[in-house]
Structure 1
Amino acid sequence: MNPSDNPSHILFAEERKNEIIKLVNFKGKVFVPDLVAHFNVSPATIRNDLRELEGFHLIKRTHGGAIPIESEKVGFEMVNQQKSVEHIEQKKMIAKSALNYIEEGDIIILDTGTTTLELAKMLKNMHITVIVNDIDIAHVLEEYEHVQVVLIGGNVRKKFRSTVGPFALKMLSEINVDKVFLAVNGFSMTRGGTTPDVNQAEIKKKMIEISTNTILLADSSKIGKSSFVQFAAPSQITTLITDPGIDSSHLEQLQSLGIEVVISEA
Structure 2
Amino acid sequence: MIYVKDIEAFDNSESESNTLFAEERKSEIVKLVNSKGKVLVPELVKYFNLSPATIRNDLRELEQLGLIKRTHGGAIRVETPKVAFEPVTQQKMVENVEQKRSIARAALNFIEEGDIIIFDTGTTILELAMSLKDLNVTIIVNDIDIARCLEEYENIQVILIGGSLRKKFRSTIGPFAIKMLSEINVDKAFIAANGYSITRGCTTPDINQAEIKKKMIEVANETILLCDSNKMKKNSFIQFASPTEISTIITDKGIDQSDVEQITNLGVQVIVAK
The two structures have a TM-score, normalised by structure 1, of 0.72
Contact 1:124 1:146 in 2 (8 A): no
The equivalent position to 2:92 in structure 1, one of 83, 87, 102, is 83
The equivalent position to 1:188 in structure 2, one of 188, 197, 207, is 197
Q: Output one character per residue of 1:6-37: Cα deviation in whole Å (capped at 9) or x when no partner.
A: xxxxxxxxxxxxxxxxxxxxxxxxxxxxxxxx
1:232 aligns with 2:237: no
Question: Structure 1 residues 196, 118: closer, same or farther in 2, change over 3 A?
Answer: same
| Percentage of pairs with the same residue | 66
User: Which runs of 5 or more residues in structure 1 are unaligned?
Assistant: 1-68
Q: Output one character per residue of 1:68-97: Cα deviation in whole Å (capped at 9) or x when no partner.
A: x96469x92100000011101000000000
Residue of structure 1 equivalent to 2:261? 252
Residue of structure 2 equivalent to 1:43? none
Partner amino acid for 2:146? Answer: I
The two structures have a TM-score, normalised by structure 2, of 0.70
| Alpha-carbon separation, structure 1, partners of 2:145 and 2:81 | 23
Residue of structure 2 equivalent to 1:149? 158
Q: Secondary structure at the match of 2:244?
A: helix
Q: Secondary structure at the match of 2:138?
A: strand
1:98 aligns with 2:100: no
| Alpha-carbon separation, structure 1, partners of 2:231 and 2:120 | 16
Partner amino acid for 2:238? Answer: V
Residue of structure 2 equivalent to 1:118? 127
Deviation, structure 1 residue 252: 1.1
User: Which runs of 5 or more residues in structure 2 are unaligned?
Assistant: 1-77
1:165 aligns with 2:177: no
Deviation, structure 1 residue 250: 1.0
Q: How many residues align?
A: 197
| Alpha-carbon separation, structure 2, partners of 1:119 and 1:195 | 20
Partner amino acid for 2:157? Answer: Q
Contact 1:95 1:118 in 2 (8 A): yes
Q: Output one character per residue of 1:199-254: Cα deviation in whole Å (capped at 9) or x when no partner.
A: 00000000000000000000000100000000000110100000010012211110
1:220 aligns with 2:229: yes
The equivalent position to 2:147 in structure 1, one of 131, 138, 148, is 138
Q: What is the RMSD computed on CA atoms of the aligned residues?
A: 1.7
